[in-house]
Every structure is written in structure tokens, then in C-alpha cells.
Amino acid sequence: MTKTTLTTSSGAPVADDNNSISAGSRGPLTFDNHYMFEKLAHFNRERIPERVVHARGTGAYGTFTLNKSLQDYTIASFLQKVGDKTDVFVRFSTVGGGQDSSDYARDPRGFAVKFYTDKGNFDLVGNNTPVFFLNDPIKFPDFIHSQKKDPRTNTPNPARMFEFWANHPQSLHQMTILMSDRGIPASYRHMHGFGSHTLSLWNRNGERFWVKWHLKSDQGIKTFTNQEAAGKCPFGAQQDLVEAIDNKQFPSWTVKLQIMPEAEAQDYKVNPFDLTKIWSHKDYPLIEIGKLELNRNVNNYFAETEQAAFAPSNLVPGIGASPDKMLQARLLAYQDAHRYRVGGNVNQIPVNAPRCPVNHYQRDGAFAGMCPAFGNENNQHDKVNFYPNDQQEQGAPVADRQVAAPPMPGLENAWIGYHDQSQEDYYTQAGDLFRLMSQDQKQQLVSNIVEGLSMATDTVKSRMIVQFSKADKEYGSMIQSALA
């Protein structure tokens, strides 16, 4: 049988379609990942005009109030003084479905927060789960394709979903959460939020800390079963949030952090930059730092919620990225998606515009001159549009080395190339989660899995049972018995 060689869009053979090129097995991605960039850039342009993922969403404005100073950990201005308030815009969403889908799909929920700080916008772009299905971004387009509608029937196909998961054990932890009793939130108010990725903080002494963000719902957790969700209005979560805020029942979340000193990452028991894994709360307890409250609805859904653009690359001095491979790719892919979907000046649209002065040398393009931070100036008038220049004394902007992040951990001994992660332990944490469940929760989990897995091929079923069994023998045996 003749094999067909996988190629790039320009016809060049592809050497590896499962692993991005990184500096060491735990190191960051490198800029020669041209094939990964091609996949992500093409993926961002597959739908016009709605978002490819997170298309169905709901947004509202509010405030973040700091109740614990983090000056020992970060120079971020909005995390210094207890009592300081920062305006925010939050967008909730389902992930896989289009705008024609239901608010009550069994699907992760997006939970994105835009902090309008006095040093620029900080976007915390996460989900309602602490982990994700993947730890390498090169697989993201493939994963979403498996979750979208079947290309022939244009209808959901659970067999395709499980076929992907059977080939990617790294998805087992998140899939276990998705298929559990928490897989369908009753409302956006009744779910937690997580930054999910590992980010970094650094203080005035140049000390770096790794950090994970957690937003705990003050309303508590409420969920629906498949049967309950089937009877709900498809736009019920949207309606619930709007009505709650209109009725001054302002939803809130307690914001907490897990903080790891930089030096401890090297020897931690799991890769702390692997998006499929959590940090033990025993090792790194949650530290409460503030309160997030939503208290104002949008005036126009399209102008605000639909055009809202969140990006993990929207960072501020004192908050930075990490070697998390998924995060590294999102630093490019999210802004690329926004420029395509909305336009090159997406950050000049009011909902995205910073609330602080903006000074740069970008010019022209759609929506140029809209940003309130420019005082509604017309494309910055006749100001100099290149750098360096001789106009600093007249106010032309210059770089400020004082806000530079400290260097990342050294990579001298790391080799650059494809690093296979298939031998990582993707089973222990999924098993730990299963063992925390009550018998009723385990039964719901099994029923939800079998509902879709029963449609898959026998080989997919067998491979999934092996994964479940590696996580926990009871987990595997319950699935096997339910499929019999």
C-alpha cells in the first residue's frame, strides 16, 4: 500500500505533525515553527465572520477589587495597594459550537477577563476548567476539527471526538472533567474560572514567580444533566446573566492564586508548564487576593461583546508568559485571529481600547483613529510614524527598559527539535479526579462517556478503555461493562 506524505500548503513534506519545535522538552517554542504557524494561521481563517472557537458568548462589565497586596511578587500596578479597583470586561462562552448552538452544550466554557489597568490591558484568557485537552499547540486545529460538525453531514459526530481522544491520551484529564457532572454549567454565574496556563510574575528585585489564576464563584456551583439541559432554552445562560445584572443581583468571584518560586519548577513532580496538568493545592495552596464583580450589562451586544477581543499576549509590566507551549502559540494566534476577524486596529474599538495613554508608531488600516486613549485623534495626525527618530524632545515615544521582564531560565543545555511527549504521565491526575468522585458522580461520568463512545469503532473503544484503566482500574471496568 502506497503511503501519502503529509505536506505543508506549499507542498513541502512534514516531518512531525504531533510536536512543535521547542528548546528542550520543557522549554519554550522557537520561531522556526513555520509549520505550526501555518496551521494556526490557516485555522484562524476557517470561518467568516464568527469566531472559530468561543463563537457563542455573553459579556458584561465590572470591577476587580484587590484585598491583598502582591508587591512582594510583582510590579503590576493594579496588584499593589489593598482596596484598589480596576475596571474589567468579562466574556463567557461555549467553546466548540457556532452561534447557532445552545448555551447548554456539554462543552468547556470560556472565561476571559480584560483588566483595564493604568499600565495597559491585561487579559486573563481562560476556561471554567484548570486544564485543557492538549499541551502542544500544533494539535489544536486537529482537536477542534474533531469536535466540530462532521464535514459530510454537518451534524455533531461523537465518534470523531472519541477517535481523536483515543489517539491523544493527553486529553484524558480534561475529557474526564467534561464528561463529569460538571460538564454542563447551569449558568455562567454558577461556575468557576481558571487562567489555566502558567503565567509569571516578577517583582522590583527581578525575582520571578510562576502563577496560576483561579476565580471561585461566590454563587456556588450548579450544573445540569444531559436530560435537564435538553429542556432548556438555548439562550438561557445569556438571558440569566443579563437579567441578574439588570436586577442588581451582581455575580462575583473570589480571585485566588497559586504561586511557585521560579527555582522550584525545575524539580517539581510534574511539568508545571503542561496545560494538561494541575499543581497540587497541598504543594501550592490558594492565596486569596481579591474580588471580581460584574455590575453593568453592555448597551449593544455587537459593538461590545461580539467585537471584544481577548489575547494572552495582552500583558502588563510585572505579569509575563512562561514556557507553556500552548500559551506560547496563543501569544501569536489570538492576536492574529482578531486582526483577521475584526481588523488590524482591533484594539482601537472602545471595548478593547486601553483606559491609559497609548503611544506607538502603528498607523492606518480599518478603524484607525477610534481609540479613546488617542483623544479621538485622526490616525495620530502628523506625528512621526517611525522609530528611532529625532523627535523625543517633542514627546515622541521611546522604550522603557525599566519595565523589561527578567530573563527566562537558561536553555544552554537544551536541544532544539521535536520533543515527543507521548511517554508523559497523562493518567495519574485523571485517576485522582475519578477517585474523588462519589459513586453517583462516577455513574454520571460513565453514562456521559458511553453515550458518545458507543458510536465509535471497536478499535477506538478498545484504546479508550486502556486509557481509562491506566487512570484507574475501576474507571476502565465501569466503561467496559457499560459498553458490553
pLDDT reading at 371 higher than 80: no
Per-residue pLDDT tens for 238-263?
999 999 999 999 999 999 999 999 99
Final residue belonging to a domain, choices 355, 377, 410: 355
State yes or no: is 54 an active-site residue. yes
Does one domain contain both 322 and 457? no
Helix (H) or strand (E) holding 471, with range, is helix 458-471
More confident residue, 368 or 23: 23
Look at residues 340, 355, 370 and tell me which one is the last residue of a structural domain: 355
Exposed, middle or buried by CB within 10 Å (0-12, 13-18, 19+), for 65?
middle
Residue from 44, 54, 157, 314 carrying the catalytic annotation = 54
Whether residues 173 and 73 fall in one domain: yes
Which structural domain range is residue 58 located in? 36-355
- Would residue 410 count as lying in a domain? no
Read off the pLDDT of residues 442-480 as tens digits, 9 standing for 90 and up. Answer: 999 999 999 999 999 999 999 999 999 999 999 999 999
Q: Does residue 188 have a pLDDT over 80?
A: yes
Question: Does 333 share its domain with 452?
Answer: no
Assess whether pLDDT exceeds 90 at residue 412.
Answer: no
| Residue 304 per-residue DSSP state | I
Domain assignment present for residue 406? The answer is no
Instruction: Specify whether 346 is located in the same domain as 447.
Output: no
| The pLDDT of residue 444 | 97
Mean of the per-residue pLDDT values of the chain: 92
Q: Are residues 348 and 477 in the same domain?
A: no
Distance between CA atoms of residues 233 and 230, nearest Å: 8
Q: Are residue 210 and residue 70 in the same domain, yes or no?
A: yes
Question: 121, 127, 297, 352: which one is catalytic?
Answer: 127
Asked which of 292, 321, 355 is the last residue of a domain, the reply is 355
- pLDDT bin (cut points 50, 70, 90) of residue 10 is low
* 348 touches 307 (CB < 8 A): no
Q: Are 314 and 458 found together in one domain? A: no
| Domain-embedded: residue 368 | no
**pLDDT tier at 483, thresholds 50, 70, 90:** very high
CA atoms lying within 13 Å on the CB side of residue 257: 21
Over range 293-322, report the average pLDDT.
95
Domain count, the chain: 2
Given this model, what pLDDT does residue 48 score?
A: 55
Q: Identify whether 101 is part of a domain.
A: yes
179 and 307 assigned to the same domain = yes
**Does 145 lie in the same domain as 64?**
yes
Does residue 412 lie within any of the structural domains?
Answer: no
Determine the pLDDT at residue 373.
57
| Stretch among 83-97, 188-202, 367-381, 448-462 having the lowest mean pLDDT | 367-381
Which helix or strand (DSSP H or E) is residue 257 part of? strand 252-261
Residue 123 — pLDDT band, cuts 50, 70, 90?
very high
pLDDT attached to residue 428? 97
Note whether 134 and 235 are same-domain residues: yes
Check residue 376 and give its pLDDT: 47
* pTM > 0.85: yes or no: yes
Structural domain includes residue 402: no
Residue 169 included in any domain: yes
**Choice between 391 and 13, residue whose per-residue pLDDT is larger:** 391
Output the DSSP codes for 168-202: -GGGHHHHHHHTSTTSSBS-STTS-EE--S-EEEE
Whether 273 maps to a domain, the answer reads: yes
Would you call 167 a catalytic residue per the annotation? no
* Among candidate residues 342, 367, 369, the one with its CA nearest the CA of residue 358: 369
Residues 278, 180 within the same domain: yes
pLDDT exceeds cutoff 90 at 414: no
Q: Are residues 190 and 273 in the same domain?
A: yes
CATH number at residue 223: 2.40.180.10
